[in-house]
Amino acid sequence: MSSSADPTGASDRPRRRCLRADAERNRDRILAAARRLYARDGLGVSMAAVAREAGVGKATLCRRFATREELVDAVFADRMDAYAAAVTAALADPDPWRGFVGCVQAVCAMQAADRGFADVLTTAFPAAGALEERRSRAHAGLVELIDRAKASGHLRDDVTDRDVVILLMANAGVLDAAGEAAPDAWRRLVAQMLRAYAAPGAALPPLPDPPSPAALSRAVLLGRTGQAAS
């Protein structure tokens, strides 16, 4: 034990110092299963369902991730990185307004592609370490992006980063309510919102068509997929 190379990394990490090979494999299976279920059904999925999907016992899941928060934290770390990357890419755009528009669209698209991520973006957990740290880093970039877009004159002066946070919350609501019956409703929301943000004269992407009346009323009639509100 003293001469081993400790292949997985530092041994001074408080928990999960060095997992056995099969345990590591199970951990990955759990993460993959959770990612799949969360993306489809949101964060409400039960721990038991994740264990079932992963093909491991409930005890295994509970030991590896003591709380749902820990699991969520591990599952969405890379998604949060993608968020930060989108902000960084937008900052690299020579046209700040175009960067801002693309960034907002990209993040909202990420929410649409992953219901769990939509929840995560607007619902953090107090103790969620890694996730929270990444989010705040991305947020700082967003503030910078907004400042530059304002300076360019294409983003209205009274728009703030909180407006974007509110948009993310709103988008989550649309995704939740529209569900699969009107999977593109969110695009309409985002386009309208960008129109509100834009200073007169700023270039705007074309407004996508709204969902058909039938699709939207089907969405309303079907209601939120699971939980019937709550």
Partner DNA sequence: ACGGAAGTGGGAAGGCTGTTCCACTTGAGT
Partner DNA sequence: ACTCAAGTGGAACAGCCTTCCCACTTCCGT
- Asked if 185 is part of the footprint of a copy of itself (rule: CB under 8 A), the reply reads yes
- Asked if 44 is part of the footprint of a copy of itself (rule: CB under 8 A), the reply reads yes
Residue from 1, 10, 21, 228 in contact with a copy of itself (CB under 8 A): 228
Residue 140 interacts with, from DNA, a copy of itself, none (CB under 5-8 Å by kind): none
The piece of 42-50, 89-97, 137-145, 154-162 that touches DNA (CB under 7 A) is 42-50
- Asked if 214 is part of the footprint of a copy of itself (rule: CB under 8 A), the reply reads no
The piece of 43-51, 112-120, 139-147, 187-195 that touches DNA (CB under 7 A) is 43-51
- Minimal distance, residue 180 CB to a copy of itself, in Å: 14
Distance CA 195, CA 206 (A): 10
Residues that bind DNA (CB under 7 A): 1-4, 19-23, 26, 46-49, 55-60, 62-64, 67-68
